[in-house]
Amino acid sequence: KNKTAIVTGASSGIGAAIAEHLANEGANVVLAARRKEELSTIVETINSKNKGKAIAVVTDVSKQSEVDELSAKAVEAFGEVDIYVNNAGLMLMSVIQNGHVHEWDSMIDVNIKGVLYGVNSVLPRMVERSKGHIVNISSVAGHEVSKVNAVYSATKFAVRALSMGLEKELARTGVRVTNISPGAVDTDLATHGTDESLKQKAQSSDRKRLESADIARAVVYAVTQPDYVNVNEVTVRPV
Ligand code: NJP
């Protein structure tokens, strides 16, 4: 039977690539994000090209009720949720002394609370079925801290801590947990902050950045292992 995967932050970048790659492996995919038009375009592409079917559910992952609704709609459409990819994320670079409190709040709400709401919306059923896979997209910024990105880093350390805790908690349940930490990937991620000079610097790297597909392949690798294999931590960096 086809597996069903929810992918958050699937309206662009890494999330869109993950959804496409999972659908290409035969999974039915539920794409979640706030931008409806972008989601529709990607869903159409997947449904015209790939083996699995795709639907979109407009979702703000920082709102628990919307995340619960997302998982309920996935069950309604495809029966069960086998894979939940917590990919939605925000990186709003700034130094702490500039006091961009609202940006800190947004990153904490999306990057940490959004992940917890996602896990909460599917985990009881996964434990009941002794089956399921949580994939969290953290970052190399969840392993090391730069001087212009400490709050983002803190949220990605938190994602890793949640992955590590869940892995222990779920060790004998049959539910698997994978934490993926990408290095710099060529997406829109760095374009949303308010500090122009930091945004430009982040995008003017002198080495080739990773493609979204490079991270999507890591997700496919983790979720296509035999049932007894749990790929816990993957870091992928540009050469
Ligand atoms: O960035 P981008 P990436 N509710 O901006 C969504 C991590 N990462 O693909 O809501 C729901 O193209 C947003 O959708 P929309 C990074 O931290 C990246 O690079 O429509 N969704 C969009 O689909 C993040 O966790 C790099 O605006 C929300 C998506 O999130 C993940 O990879 C390096 C939302 C962001 O797509 C994907 O980011 C690294 C909300 N409230 C880790 N807010 C890298 N690119 O270099 C945002 O180490 N989204």
**pLDDT reading at 193 higher than 90:** no
Cα(91)–Cα(89) distance, integer angstroms:
7
Residue 71 beta carbon below 6 angstroms from any ligand 1 atom: no
What sign does the CA torsion over 107, 164, 237, 38 have? negative
Residue range 9-20, pLDDT digits in tens:
999 999 999 999
Domain that holds residue 97: 4-236
Of 95-99, 144-148, 200-204, the poorest mean pLDDT is in 200-204
Query: Taking Cα atoms as reference points, which of 64, 19, 12 lies closest to residue 190?
Result: 12
How far is it, in rounded angstroms, from Cα 140 to Cα 182?
6
* CA 101 distance to own-chain centroid: 24
Q: How wide is the angle at C-alpha 41 spanned by C-alphas 205 and 55, nearest 5°? A: 115
In the chain, how many domains are there?
Answer: 1
Specify the CATH number for the domain of residue 62: 3.40.50.720
Q: Is the pLDDT of residue 134 over 70?
A: yes
DSSP 185: B
Q: What percent of the chain has pLDDT over 90?
A: 91
The answer, yes or no, to whether any atom of ligand 1 lies below 6 A from the CB of 87, is: yes
- Which of 115, 187, 205, 234 should be mutated for ligand 1, with most atoms under 8 A from CB? 187
Q: Is the CB of 139 under 6 A from ligand 1?
A: yes
Nearest by Cα to 5 from 227, 230, 219: 219
**Helix and strand tally (H, E) in the chain?**
8, 7
Residue nearest to atom 5 of ligand 1 (CA): 189
Mean pLDDT score of the chain:
96
Tell me, what's the pLDDT at 121?
98
| pLDDT score, position 194 | 79
> Which residue, by CA, sits nearest to atom 24 of ligand 1?
89
Full strand arrangement of the beta sheet holding 132-137: 54-58, 28-33, 4-8, 83-86, 132-137, 175-182, 233-236
pLDDT at 50: 85
Ligand 1: which of 12, 36, 84, 178 to mutate, most ligand atoms within 8 Å of CB? 12
Q: Can you read off the two tokens belonging to residue 49?
A: 């090209």
pLDDT tops 70 at residue 239: yes
- The finding on whether 12 has its CB within 6 A of some atom of ligand 1 is yes
Ligand 1 centroid to residue 228 C-alpha, Å:
30
